[in-house]
Amino acid sequence: MASPSQIITLFLLLLGAFAEARDPFACDPKDATTSNLPFCRVSMPIPARVKDLLGRLTLQEKVRLLVNNAIAVPRLGIKGYEWWSEALHGVSNVGPGTKFGGAFPGATSFPQVITTAASFNATLWEAIGRVVSDEARAMYNGGAAGLTYWSPNVNIFRDPRWGRGQETPGEDPVVAGTYAASYVKGLQGSNGERLKVAACCKHFTAYDLDNWNGVDRFHFNAKVSKQDIEDTFDVPFKMCVQDGNVASVMCSYNQVNGVPTCADPNLLKKTVRGQWKLDGYIVSDCDSVGVFYNTQHYTSTPEEAAADAIKAGLDLDCGPFLAQYTENAVTRGLLNEADVNSALTNTLTVQMRLGMFDGEPSAQPFGNLGPKDVCTPAHQQLALEAARQGVVLLKNHNPSLPLSHLRHRTVAVIGPNSNATVTMIGNYAGVACGYTSPLQGIGNYAKTIHQMGCADVACADDTLFSEAINAARQADATVLVMGLDQSIEAEFKDRTGLLLPGRQQELVSKVALASKGPTILVLMSGGPIDVSFAKNDPRIGSILWAGYPGQAGGAAIADVLFGTTNPEGKLPMTWYPQGYVSNLLMTDMAMRSSPNRNYPGRTYRFYKGQVVYPFGHGLSYTNFVHTIASAPTVVSVPLDGHHRSGNATISGKWIKVNHAKCNKLTVGLQVDVKNTGSKDGTHTMLVFSTPPAGHWAPNKQLVAFAKVHVPAGSQERVGINIHVCKFLSVVDQSGVRRIPIGVHDLHIGGVKHSLSLQPATLGVIKT
Ligand SMILES: *[C@@H]1O[C@H](CO)[C@@H](O)[C@H](O)[C@H]1NC(C)=O
Ligand SMILES: *[C@@H]1O[C@H](CO)[C@@H](O)[C@H](O)[C@H]1NC(C)=O
Ligand SMILES: *[C@@H]1O[C@H](CO)[C@@H](O)[C@H](O)[C@H]1NC(C)=O
């Protein structure tokens, strides 16, 4: 006989098993009437299964599958499905598709994307995607999440005030595109057409303003030139689709040149699906269709709005609008049922690629993943590793860092973010497995004296200053953890300026003046902060930027402070002085500077003025020296057979990319990186190119990046391949990509290499 406690244990075990078991979404083998229908046959090709299923649906059923909370079709054995889940840097609780609690109290919360971007490590980006999708699949199997994730956000961080800049990989299109492709590959897996989860690159396009000076994203018409679209705004999306094979793209709320993006066939049908060949579905931002009808008054009837969106290429509405108005749009002849069918073909195909029509989830790939696969020690270790790789050392005077646990036995830990937990995971986060705050992290190395200094990041008054100053007087070193949080920069909240909020700056200066030992300033923020005061204050020895470093952020910060981690992060965005934004309209989308209208231009590619810290800045505790081991000095660009003698091809100054044989046309470089310091370190190598002068060209642009670990005193060789057509081209005012003929200067750290690009002459094609 079992004892009562054994029975209770058995009962709990069964409960646990039930928590893990999700009923099949469709094609339940226990339901003989539906599981034998052709669309359930795993052996049949997916297009044929989709066609069969579509043929069985009525128009009334179809229109109610065009929305995020798709209805059930019980007569065909299909359950309802919530399409909206998010996983920006860990499974998130934003979106109704995901629910924490029960068997899934939390999920690994990686650093916010702007921090992860600072690692410039594409291997890490993909590894994070793999872990997140393991946890997402586990939660799906347990009935706690969906399989369609509307992440990542790959808009360009164009203006430093943008509240959602934190969600992005920064201001450089190539970094953003590489991030997109890597993270998406990690999420989606690499099993042919089969998807582990479906990712989504958003928000297409020119969306990078939330709410500034009375202008919000729902009303904003982004006026964007063809040139800026081609060489800035489109780049990450194109790379996401072509290199990452993403299963979805999301159109944004704003208009681009007068047309709502979700109603623009040029953007959706022609570009994303036609030119880039998206194999997946296009979804609206949440209620974009409702927004362009109700808020922008883009059409006069809701049926026209529904018809415009679907005809433009929208396949799924996050929001109720298409379920409400599409049927009438068809009845009134504004839309053909065939248009509805193409939209559904795209969404149903993704659901089939996810295995949702293959019967029992437990019998499928990843069917074994469950609660034991979430928040594992290995996953949490990767969150810590990501934070370590993302911390950026901005200043190290004397040097003040690293601290020594022998000499700095007592550390004053001060500031509104000194004991941060939820702040460290930024927005679009979930419930973390647990946290290590900076105070806890530093506490693992030294005795701490803790003072908030300010009640919160707004730091409205100085009532807590004197205790903070006293703490700094007593300690062997002082660490101030300052910066921002979601009350200052967030979705629907752009900043008005770039300085530290309230009286934070005053606290830092006063504490630094009183400190007995070195004073270290640690900043948490998504956007850049004008910390010129600290950069110029000799009493502030070092400055670290941690972004929002995720659940293990405090441990990573402490590891850098005490030198068990040698910092390797680099800024993924320019840190401008406050003066940069004082006369700059956030609504002005132009990337290029325009001296005659006193317009400074945006990002390191086009802005030439003063900066606090430049894009790519980041120090190490050691020194790296580059030498070029081998690199070509002349590269011939072969022309496509049809254009060898054409004038259109070579103007004397340019070769149109369309007219060049681009396939495999790369420039190969070998660079030696020597660690001349006394500490092992990992070097983040950024390769920039300055094209021949001309007013289309940027000041410089990133053309490659690589990471290499180099022990103290030794040297490693790094191979770099630069795709000529993609990365050495510039874009003219009509949006046409051209390769400038002549000398391109490559810059790697302090080294410059000149590379001459020449058209291959007839018959003498050098490669
Ligand atoms: C990049 O990140 C991965 C995953 O954390 C790590 O294994 C690898 O060492 C990193 N690369 C370098 C060069 O540090
Ligand atoms: C730090 O934060 C943790 C978690 O929020 C809390 O339990 C702890 O009391 C805080 N420590 C101090 C010294 O405020
Ligand atoms: C190049 O263009 C000029 C005028 O624009 C024309 O006279 C000439 O024939 C063209 N040459 C070739 C090879 O097409």
Whether residues 593 and 628 share a domain: the answer is: no
Q: What is the CATH number of the domain that holds 663?
A: 2.60.40.10
pLDDT value at position 759? 87
pLDDT single digits (tens) 73-97: 999 999 999 999 999 999 999 999 9
Sequence-ordered alpha helix ranges (H) in 401-481:
438-443, 465-474
Pairwise pLDDT comparison (421 vs 16), residue with the higher score: 421
pLDDT value at position 14? 46
Question: Is residue 713 in a domain?
Answer: yes
Q: What is the CATH number of the domain that holds 484?
A: 3.40.50.1700
Question: Is residue 113 in a domain?
Answer: no
Give the residue from 762, 757, 684 showing the smallest Cα distance to 722: 757
- Taking residues 48-63, report their average pLDDT: 98
pLDDT single digits (tens) 684-698: 999 999 999 876 889
pLDDT band at 20 (very low <50, low <70, confident <90, very high): low
Question: Is residue 639 in a domain?
Answer: yes
| Whether the Cβ atoms of residue 372 and residue 16 lie closer than 8 Å to each other | no
pLDDT single digits (tens) 606-663: 999 999 999 999 999 999 999 999 999 999 998 876 655 544 455 668 899 998 999 9
Annotated catalytic residue: which of 134, 172, 208, 285? 285
Tokens at 401, concatenated? 């860092």
- Taking residues 559-588, report their average pLDDT: 98
Separation of 358 CA from ligand 1 center, angstroms?
36
**pTM for the full model?**
0.95
| Whether the Cβ atoms of residue 479 and residue 561 lie closer than 8 Å to each other | yes
Whether residues 558 and 447 share a domain: the answer is: yes
| Contact 273 CB / ligand 2 (< 6 Å) | no
- Residues whose CB is less than 8 angstroms from the CB of residue 10 and which lie 6 or more positions away in sequence, other chains included: 2
Q: Is 456 a catalytic residue?
A: no
pLDDT single digits (tens) 415-460: 999 999 999 999 999 999 999 999 999 999 999 999 999 999 999 9
Whether residues 591 and 491 share a domain: the answer is: yes
Pocket test for ligand 1, best of 123, 182, 684 (most atoms within 8 A of CB): 123
Enclosing domain of residue 464: 377-597
- Residue 626 CB-density burial (10 A; 0-12 exposed, 13-18 middle, 19+ buried): middle
Question: Is residue 16 in a domain?
Answer: no
| Whether the Cβ atoms of residue 315 and residue 348 lie closer than 8 Å to each other | no
- Residues shown for the chain: 767
Distance in angstroms (rounded) separating the CA atoms of residues 276 and 241 = 7
Other beta carbons less than 10 A from residue 527's beta carbon: 25
Whether residues 577 and 666 share a domain: the answer is: no
pLDDT value at position 640? 79
DSSP letter (8 states) at residue 19: H
pLDDT single digits (tens) 112-154: 999 999 999 999 999 999 999 999 999 999 999 999 999 999 9
Distance in angstroms (rounded) separating the CA atoms of residues 521 and 429 = 26
Distance in angstroms (rounded) separating the CA atoms of residues 498 and 576 = 8
pLDDT value at position 363? 84
Separation of 657 CA from ligand 3 center, angstroms?
20
Whose tokens are 């650093």? That residue is: 111
Cα-to-chain-centroid distance, residue 398: 35
Give the residue from 561, 482, 558, 469 showing the smallest Cα distance to 515: 469
Nearest CA to ligand 2 atom 6: 419
Whether residues 541 and 674 share a domain: the answer is: no
Whether residues 582 and 627 share a domain: the answer is: no
Whether residues 563 and 654 share a domain: the answer is: no
Total structural domains in the chain? 2
Whether residues 630 and 718 share a domain: the answer is: yes
Question: Is residue 643 in a domain?
Answer: yes
pLDDT value at position 560? 99
- Residues whose CB is less than 8 angstroms from the CB of residue 417 and which lie 6 or more positions away in sequence, other chains included: 423, 438, 457, 481, 482, 483, 485, 522, 524
Question: Is residue 81 in a domain?
Answer: no
Average pLDDT, the chain: 95
Give the residue from 761, 119, 716 showing the smallest Cα distance to 389: 119
Whether residues 452 and 587 share a domain: the answer is: yes
Question: Is residue 727 in a domain?
Answer: yes
Whether residues 515 and 645 share a domain: the answer is: no
Whether residues 527 and 458 share a domain: the answer is: yes
Tokens at 373, concatenated? 């696969």
| Contact 182 CB / ligand 1 (< 6 Å) | no
Question: Is residue 36 in a domain?
Answer: no
> Can you tell me which atom of ligand 3 is nearest the CA of 646?
14
Pocket test for ligand 3, best of 643, 647, 659 (most atoms within 8 A of CB): 647
Whether residues 591 and 717 share a domain: the answer is: no
Nearest CA to ligand 3 atom 1: 647
